[in-house]
Structure 1
């Protein structure tokens, strides 16, 4: 926008980031028509008169969404209550520059439509990418917000006309991010795809049986000479008929994520991706361990010390699974010729078929991950990877 305005002689006072165009992969800017600017539309002649939008101020990135509601006790004091994160609101003030009034009117129309996001996002919102400061390589400074949508549409709060007819309009609007965290790029370690179709052959074994051997801590203040009265029997926990059980042969591969690149104060969340390859996959199990010392993850890993499991009963051939801790959603993409790609939501099970909980790691732990799948239903070209993504409450 600065290049377009200055080419027309508009006295814009702005100190742009010198490496911004290279960071976003753009060539040097010439004019909206030649560069095919996002707002340029050959069917609308007025669009060539829009010179762009320049940010004046933004609020919401430097405030934390953490809240806590104390519950007052009958006596002195209060119970603090759990921490929760509310949605994040971002308030923008921008300058819309156009060569004349008709171009300004079109620019406002375009801005209003652009802020509505993609038609495919629906009520979930879109991904938003911003730089936290002037970029140098485009990755280190890049931040991501998810489930972002417009909260208040553009409102013109002031206009100024220059001698040559150029119009400067001050516009405000606000966005809301349903996921309050600000995410960085995934750590480099763990980004490589690991073959799982040629992993170690293990079994016959039932991966869930290991939990029956795990010891749990018992209260130590109970007097053995005064046992408590027996509790009434609990009803059996319901189990899904689709959750696979029993002894079988498995292919097992391991993924190691180093803690060396992790910040000592940023928490991280995993993003699991699996490509099933040339045949259907059944009884997929992914198990996580923390690895604070950055070991090689070789040798036996104690299942009782695992952080969590991800169990999925079935994935079709040629599909890609993504279990995304950033948005806390899972999706399976299945190519369907000649229609395109169909998306579905898989059922995720936790350990022993329990409810699945989204894992998060609050210190630089590194990870050891085992990927299990039933040998008879694992293609030789099946692969998996686990990304570890840092996040923060302010940026």
Structure 2
């Protein structure tokens, strides 16, 4: 992973190109790998101290003059981003051998070394304080325990907007505060302080940008009308394969019954008229050795939406989705009992969290809450993960009388892996 740019919770922490430009304006030559495309990838103007661009630097504070004598943060190295995180804890058996146990990914620990370039000791004190504050992450209460989003580049960005090189990690938080490891004093009083700190990603996978070749926003009001349909009843008719070794003249002992899965009393059921929207995600350049997870964004528009169902099917051959939409063959179901009008529903397979954001016109505030998600026929919900490269068919069912003309949905596929 390239160490020349780091952003945490939307705040630029490391920008080697900016630091080198500001230092060069003061006669300080920084020997570093040139990445002239970084400013373009970030949408920044060329970094130029004399043009006043430092006013846009994240550390600049007009009430603290020493902040102008802080010239930037160099990326000097990072470890922990090239290592796989899969671990397994075997258990010894009474006889020979072990039980392997499940394979799981542990949290990702990342060690950063950066260089703070300052013009004097006062600026260095300010720089260390600013870095410590910025690494604490977002101000939202949720970020205190869940962590924040970390953005870096796999290499110096050269694609438009850096989209091909951009990588994201989620649920990232500070594990060990910044510590000064060494100081280098330059002629004229300038200082370069080497500082180390540790971050931890609770979600260990590294995510690319959404794959190209998928659909944009899809209107839900144009879907075909299905009259008198009970989407849950079909699951009772789904058949499981019967093992061929069972003797029809000798039944196996019956296993104890499992406790029933609780159903929400608010989850609608029974027959209703639905809008059915079918579309295909046929991503180009789907990686062969990385998993894919969906990100669903839905806007119900001017009506409360009830009994929303979203289904996914594997479609590696790019077939007509109308021929694949057998609910019994669906890979994953997402059922949401209620989405209030004017809100935005996000079901994010990257963080495995769902949220409904409700803007409130009278106060200008936005209320956020986690909706209850269900699986097929209101059973337990399972987060969708496509382990093999594939196209995907998506079906959205929404009750006709609760589907507004401006209701729409967008589904993206994102690749995730254990390294950049």
- Please give the range of the TM-score, normalised by the shorter of the 2 chains: over 0.9
1:29 match: 47
Deviation (angstroms), 1:232: 5.1
DSSP 3-state at the match of 2:175: strand
2:102 match: 82
1:342 match: 367
2:395 aligned to which of 370, 385, 391: 370
1:164 match: 188
Does 159-168 or 258-267 show the bigger shift? Answer: 258-267
State the distance in 1 between where 2:269 and 2:304 align.
18
Q: Is 2:281 the partner of 1:263?
A: no
State the distance in 2 between where 1:203 and 1:189 align.
33
Q: Does structure 1 conserve the Cα–Cα contact (< 8 Å) formed by 2:20 and 2:29?
A: no
Counterparts in 2 of 1:51-200, with a 5 A limit?
51-120=71-140, 121-137=143-159, 138-200=162-224
Deviation (angstroms), 1:308: 1.4
State the distance in 2 between where 1:167 and 1:283 align.
62
Q: Is 2:239 the partner of 1:215?
A: yes
Q: Is 2:41 the partner of 1:20?
A: no
Q: Is 2:62 the partner of 1:42?
A: yes
Judging changes above 3 Å, is the alpha-carbon distance between structure 1 residues 299 and 99 closer, same or farther for their aligned structure 2 residues?
same
TM-score, structure 2 length as denominator?
0.91
Aligned residues: 395
DSSP 3-state at the match of 1:207: coil
1:2 aligned to which of 20, 40, 65: 20
Does 296-305 or 1-10 show the bigger shift? Answer: 296-305
Does 51-60 or 182-191 show the bigger shift? Answer: 182-191
DSSP 3-state at the match of 1:295: coil
Deviation (angstroms), 1:234: 5.1
Q: Does structure 2 conserve the Cα–Cα contact (< 8 Å) formed by 1:259 and 1:364?
A: no
Deviation (angstroms), 1:215: 1.1
DSSP 3-state at the match of 1:156: strand
State the distance in 2 between where 1:146 and 1:231 align.
42
Deviation (angstroms), 1:255: 2.2
Cα deviations across residues 22-81 of structure 1 (Å, max 9, x unaligned)?
A: 111111111285332111100000000001110111001111111111112222221211
State the distance in 1 between where 2:307 and 2:242 align.
33
Judging changes above 3 Å, is the alpha-carbon distance between structure 1 residues 294 and 260 closer, same or farther for their aligned structure 2 residues?
farther
State the distance in 2 between where 1:104 and 1:360 align.
46
Deviation (angstroms), 1:169: 0.7
State the distance in 2 between where 1:46 and 1:230 align.
77
Deviation (angstroms), 1:302: 1.3
Does 350-359 or 114-123 show the bigger shift? Answer: 114-123
Judging changes above 3 Å, is the alpha-carbon distance between structure 1 residues 358 and 220 closer, same or farther for their aligned structure 2 residues?
same
State the distance in 1 between where 2:164 and 2:255 align.
56
Q: Does structure 1 conserve the Cα–Cα contact (< 8 Å) formed by 2:293 and 2:350?
A: yes
1:390 match: 415
State the distance in 1 between where 2:272 and 2:322 align.
23
DSSP 3-state at the match of 1:122: helix
Q: Does structure 1 conserve the Cα–Cα contact (< 8 Å) formed by 2:345 and 2:356?
A: yes
Q: Does structure 1 conserve the Cα–Cα contact (< 8 Å) formed by 2:212 and 2:283?
A: no
Stretches of structure 1 lacking an aligned partner (at least 5 in a row): none
Does 221-230 or 125-134 show the bigger shift? Answer: 221-230
Judging changes above 3 Å, is the alpha-carbon distance between structure 1 residues 230 and 38 closer, same or farther for their aligned structure 2 residues?
closer
Q: Where does structure 1 differ by over 6 angstroms across 4 or more consecutive aligned residues?
A: none
DSSP 3-state at the match of 2:322: coil
Q: Does structure 1 conserve the Cα–Cα contact (< 8 Å) formed by 2:37 and 2:156?
A: yes
DSSP 3-state at the match of 2:268: coil
Counterparts in 2 of 1:185-334, with a 5 A limit?
185-231=209-255, 235-299=259-323, 301-334=325-358
Q: Is 2:379 the partner of 1:359?
A: no
Stretches of structure 2 lacking an aligned partner (at least 5 in a row): 1-18
Does 339-348 or 33-42 show the bigger shift? Answer: 33-42
2:10 match: none
State the distance in 1 between where 2:388 and 2:223 align.
30
